[in-house]
Structure 1
Amino acid sequence: MAQMKLLRIYTDEAAYYGDRKVFEVVASRARDAHLAGATVVQALFGFGRTAHQHRRHVLEDEQSLVIEIVDTDAHVRAFAASLSDIRGIGLMTLEAVEILGGDTVEGIAQ
């Protein structure tokens, strides 16, 4: 199996790229790039470099989000580079992962 990587992209619900939320733009681009899949995970609480606390408020949504994408090393690196025009991405991390099972395992490595 090819070297698989997990790309994590940190942002928040309040981040916009034009008139769309950053997480929606990233997920759409991941689909358009034919990546194996993307999952957006909502955090209960988070803060970043500025120490601004991100949490759900009664009148607004400002929670931290993490977008997780698993694919081959080459695919996720190229995808991460393609996001350079999007402001509102706080951090991107990349780590090796081992695929244990799933419906798309064979399709990912090809």
Structure 2
Amino acid sequence: MTRLTGSALRVTVFVGENDIWHHKPLYSEIVHRAHAAGLAGASVFRGIEGYGASSLIHTSRLLSLSEDLPVAIVIVDSEERVRAFLPQLDELVTEGLVILDDCEVIRYVGRESREGKGGEPGRKGKKSL
């Protein structure tokens, strides 16, 4: 398990949800590559409205025809590990925005495995009372 506290670097990647990399969603490829690179974590957030360099507004409003909503992929890890991952983002993101922010990790804790602790093997979730 990766330990992460204190100073860190956050990379946020803004792309369209319909952006594709080799027949799969670009956001999914970014998350899987971050995982394979051993980065501390990655999350994908779907926007409800936005525009970028093309100046086309994409929205989820009912009367809109747009389905290519904005997506943000957020990855946090040490500066060294994030910067080592940037060449992969350079390869993947041909349209979009990639930004870096310094941040401070206050708490980074995963769920414990319940195997060997009296729980059901591999079962995830909270304990029931």
Bin the TM-score by the shorter chain.
0.7 to 0.9
| C-alpha distance 51-63 of structure 1, shift in aligned 2 (>3 A) | same
Aligned to 1:21: 25
* Higher CA-based Rg: 2
Q: Matched residue of 1:103: which SS?
A: coil
Match of 1:107 in 2: none
Q: Which residue of 2 aligns with 1:86?
A: 92
- How far 1:60 moved relative to its partner? 6.5
Could you tell me which of 72, 75, 97 is aligned with 1:69? 75
Percent identity over paired residues: 25
Kindly tell me the number of residue pairs found equivalent between the two proteins.
104
Q: Structure 1 residue 46 and structure 2 residue 50: aligned?
A: yes
- Preserved contact between residue 16 and residue 88 of structure 1 (Cα < 8 Å): no
CA pair 94-87 structure 1, distance change in 2 beyond 3 A? closer
Stretches of structure 2 that go unaligned for 5 or more consecutive residues are 111-129
Which of these residues, 105, 108, 112, is aligned with residue 99 of structure 1?
105
- 2:13 pairs, out of 9, 33, 40, with 9
C-alpha RMSD of matched pairs (Å): 2.0
Asked whether the equivalents of residues 13 and 64 of structure 1 are also in contact (C-alpha less than 8 Å), the reply is: yes
Q: TM-score under structure 1 normalisation?
A: 0.83
Q: Structure 1 regions of 5+ residues with no counterpart?
A: 105-110
TM value normalised by structure 2: 0.72
